[in-house]
Structure 1
């Protein structure tokens, strides 16, 4: 089942969105240890730098609210001390609330308008800075982008960026494409691992896995879901990507989705694993788990299910 990895990737995304001051705290340490206790063996340490709008070209990654380098190093070391491998995942967000998939510029360039070259110069600085941190802290994997749907078409820019990352970082490199985009990227050959956001409706898993398999076969690369999961909220199994969906808290809804997702992937040996979404730096209390309707499975039925599944996978047993 590892499909290119030494063992299955029993992963979880930790710390999002990486708000300055929320990492390197006693609460964050407790959160990290609780995640490791769920038989998680990989941590995707995810944080965001914030540009003003989808049309801005400056990414001030050293400024608040983004976590500091010291906090990032703390998180990597804390994950490793808890026995987990690490994928460092720097992400760009927009301060105006726009989804990063909409970041985009006129093409070809138009005089007087912001350009892809200008934006990628800033983005390259952000990612190369993260790559140096990942190299210094021996992170096993680096994710160089997440759900950048409009930017995905800039083939030459991504190839240049990845080549420059390889000059400073020797671990595995992946890119987290958005759901339904796996067969649209033209530069999968430039990375080591194909990964995507697997927020597929509960009744679409078989069809989507068939479609993704064709991509994996064509490129002969390992594949994992860099994101996947479902809020513990009524109705979310059909719209797992929608964190704003109205519905009453429901641990059973989240469990039903987890059971289906793992069941559909059970026979797909080319699926190397998951970096499930997500585990916050500050956990809610155990008493509040039943009323919490977010993605984190801690203290919920899906958490107990995940502990068993990941435990079996880590031991090489059938999941």
Structure 2
């Protein structure tokens, strides 16, 4: 058994108890963030978007009139300002959406010219939001989300990009690595948090038990601990969460709309096991639950099998966890 000790940079810090705040077509009001406050959340991830047409297309389209307001720079700024008024801290997390919902980790160019076009396009995209993060005094900036092929093919570009970001933004940096990617991220040493989208498979059963999930977490947790110790950097779950659906622990990354068997016990048990495994560890910084909609009264509910915990039994579990000081 390993003894889990404190990582220097995470010691004595309060946990990041965050929500992934979904961009909408409208500006938000004080009423829209009351549910975040009621959850005892102290952080929100704000997620403006850039779009590409397919996995081999190098052009990122962003901050246009055709996007929803919350997906644009002006929208992100308005969301940040409104949340900050109520002392909710921000992780700004610009993301890429591939049309038809293809997985961003598979973005890969077919020739050198297209790689260079993508690099130029991505730099413009990410530096725009790095500047916004600095302007709004955002404490954490995420430089990318689930971009494994892009990173593995162009590691030098990413190191150079981090250098450019640091000239613009003076806060803390992370990268949102997919659950099966995080050990291979080549630039961890240049970041402040080891970011992970924590959709690890835990259980093959229809309604996984807490005990079953705790056992599944043990070897994963040990690997994270040693990575955190190696780099002297805390682990941050840039996304975590489970659908309220049968087999919620089998492939938690799936958002397949054919999965419709609502199962709140499965969602609650998997979430409880995650909290019990990580939230007490000093080398673990916290995380952002996926996902939280601004119109709380209409989100989630007792017929919903999607990720959001809103208006479901698991919301009370998260509220209690986030209230622990």
Question: Normalization by structure 1: what TM-score?
Answer: 0.89
Aligned equivalent of 1:144: 143
How far the C-alpha of 1:98 sits from its partner, in A, is 1.4
Aligned equivalent of 1:8: 15
Aligned equivalent of 2:33: 32
Instruction: Tell whether the 8 Å contact from 1:33 to 1:82 is kept in structure 2 after alignment.
Output: no
Residue aligned with 1:261, SS: helix
Aligned equivalent of 2:198: 198
How far the C-alpha of 1:5 sits from its partner, in A, is 7.0
Instruction: Tell whether the 8 Å contact from 2:45 to 2:90 is kept in structure 1 after alignment.
Output: yes
Instruction: Tell whether the 8 Å contact from 2:35 to 2:296 is kept in structure 1 after alignment.
Output: no
**How many residue pairs were aligned?**
301
Instruction: Tell whether the 8 Å contact from 2:142 to 2:176 is kept in structure 1 after alignment.
Output: yes
Instruction: Tell whether the 8 Å contact from 1:36 to 1:83 is kept in structure 2 after alignment.
Output: no
Q: Say which is worse superposed, 121-130 or 90-99, in terms of deviation.
A: 90-99
Aligned equivalent of 1:270: 283
Aligned equivalent of 1:307: 319
Aligned equivalent of 1:232: 244
Q: Deviations over 1:225-278 (max 9, x none)?
A: 001100111211222111116132222221111111111224533111111111
Instruction: Tell whether the 8 Å contact from 2:194 to 2:233 is kept in structure 1 after alignment.
Output: yes
Instruction: Tell whether the 8 Å contact from 1:31 to 1:283 is kept in structure 2 after alignment.
Output: yes
Question: Normalization by structure 2: what TM-score?
Answer: 0.87
State yes or no: 1:105 paired with 2:104: no
Aligned equivalent of 1:115: 114
Q: Closer, same or farther in 2 for the Cα pair 1:75/1:25, shift >3 Å?
A: closer
Instruction: Tell whether the 8 Å contact from 2:53 to 2:98 is kept in structure 1 after alignment.
Output: yes
Aligned equivalent of 1:85: 89
Residue aligned with 2:248, SS: coil
Aligned equivalent of 2:209: none
Q: How does 1:248-287 map to 2 (within 5 A)?
A: 248-285=261-298
Unaligned runs of 5+ in 1: none
State yes or no: 1:213 paired with 2:225: yes
Residue aligned with 1:55, SS: coil
How far the C-alpha of 1:83 sits from its partner, in A, is 1.7
Residue aligned with 1:264, SS: helix
How far the C-alpha of 1:284 sits from its partner, in A, is 5.0
Q: Within 2, Cα distance between the matches of 1:129 and 1:267?
A: 36
Q: Within 2, Cα distance between the matches of 1:169 and 1:240?
A: 33
Q: Within 2, Cα distance between the matches of 1:210 and 1:151?
A: 28
Q: Within 2, Cα distance between the matches of 1:71 and 1:266?
A: 32
How far the C-alpha of 1:30 sits from its partner, in A, is 3.1
Unaligned runs of 5+ in 2: 1-5, 203-212
Aligned equivalent of 1:75: 79
Aligned equivalent of 1:162: 162
Q: Closer, same or farther in 2 for the Cα pair 1:305/1:179, shift >3 Å?
A: same
Instruction: Tell whether the 8 Å contact from 2:48 to 2:73 is kept in structure 1 after alignment.
Output: no
What RMSD, in angstroms, separates the aligned Cα atoms of the two structures? 1.9
